[in-house]
């Protein structure tokens, strides 16, 4: 993989999730300006809803972090949306399967979820997450329960103070890793001058929905990473540079 010594990345991941991506970028010679656009906070939920399930689906690392592994009964089919989520579960002594495509569509393609009539399936996710999983699994006859274990909270900035620092750091590429973070980013950069600067910077996104939204917003150059992993994001940065 090529070096990326010519770039300074605006890393918009939540603060507690930004370190690994920052390390990968700096190892390749890049510079990082950490600029979280949201925070994550836990939500209380009814643990009684977690009893006697046939399968549990975790849609993110945050879903794992804010759900107790002790609530996962032995023998229950456990599914992680991607390798980072799978790793987080493994660190909690819980083995999970992972689809080849790291999204809802990949989960729905798993052989284990094709014949699921009358099965009880629990989806662990964040507040206001996509409902494609719930809807499609329900159409297949499963009884689906959504457990929201965290919510995303916008972070506010005094851009009159922060924007000059971003310019001084010579930021020349933006990384956004969720649809909501992209929307928050645009809200933070709502000032006309700030917004015009932002959309002129190359933008790395992780899925087609984000790419299409960024095109509508008016970003001049958008690169879609192969998936949501930090490694794929760094690979996309290498494509940008080379």
pLDDT single digits (tens) 99-151:
999 999 999 999 999 999 999 999 999 998 877 899 999 999 999 999 999 99
* Side-chain-side CA neighbours of residue 57 (13 Å): 28
Separation in Å, CA 86 to CA 60, 71, 134: 9, 17, 20
For residue 1, pLDDT beyond 70: no
Residue 85 pLDDT: 95
Average pLDDT of the residues in 147-171: 96
Residue 40 pLDDT: 94
For residue 65, pLDDT beyond 90: yes
Its pTM stands at 0.86
Please tell me the distance from the alpha carbon of residue 87 to that of residue 146, in angstroms, as a whole number. Answer: 22
Please tell me the distance from the alpha carbon of residue 37 to that of residue 180, in angstroms, as a whole number. Answer: 9
Q: Percent of the chain beyond pLDDT 70?
A: 99
CATH number, domain 8-37+157-241, options 2.40.50.140, 3.40.50.10090, 1.10.287.610, 3.40.605.10: 3.40.50.10090
Residue 100 pLDDT: 94
Residue 69 pLDDT: 79
For the chain, give the mean pLDDT. Answer: 94
Question: How far from the centroid of its chain's Cα atoms is residue 126's Cα?
Answer: 11
Average pLDDT of the residues in 85-93: 94
CATH fold of the domain at 41-152: Rossmann fold (3.40.50)
Q: Summarize pLDDT for 199-236 with one digit per residue, the tens.
A: 999 999 999 999 999 999 999 999 999 998 999 999 99
Residue 153 pLDDT: 93
Please indicate whether residue 58 or residue 130 has the higher confidence score (pLDDT).
58
Portions of the chain given CATH number 3.40.50.10090: 8-37+157-241, 41-152
């Amino acid at each position: 993989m090529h070096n990326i010594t010519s770039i300074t990345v605006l890393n918009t991941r939540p603060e507690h999730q930004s370190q690994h991506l920052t390390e990968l970028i700096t190892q390749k010679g890049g510079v990082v300006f950490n600029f979280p656009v949201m925070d994550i906070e836990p939500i209380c939920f009814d643990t009684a809803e977690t009893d006697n399930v046939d399968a549990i689906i975790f849609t993110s690392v945050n879903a794992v972090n804010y759900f107790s592994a002790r609530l996962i009964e032995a023998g229950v089919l456990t599914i992680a949306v991607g390798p980072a989520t799978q790793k987080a579960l493994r660190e909690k002594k819980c083995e999970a399967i992972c689809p080849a495509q790291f999204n809802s569509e990949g989960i729905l393609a798993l052989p284990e979820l094709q014949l699921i009539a009358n099965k009880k399936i629990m989806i662990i996710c964040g507040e206001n997450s996509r409902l494609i999983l719930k809807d499609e699994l329900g159409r297949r006859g499963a009884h689906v329960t959504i457990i929201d274990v965290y919510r995303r909270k916008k972070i506010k900035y005094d851009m009159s103070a922060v924007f000059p620092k971003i310019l001084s750091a010579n930021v020349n590429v933006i990384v956004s890793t969720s649809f909501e973070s992209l929307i928050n980013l645009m809200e933070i950069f709502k000032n006309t001058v700030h917004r015009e600067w932002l959309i002129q910077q190359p933008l790395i996104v992780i899925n087609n929905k984000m790419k299409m939204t960024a095109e509508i917003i008016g970003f001049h150059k958008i690169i879609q990473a192969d998936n949501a992993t930090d490694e794929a994001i760094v690979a996309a940065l290498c494509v940008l540079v080379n």
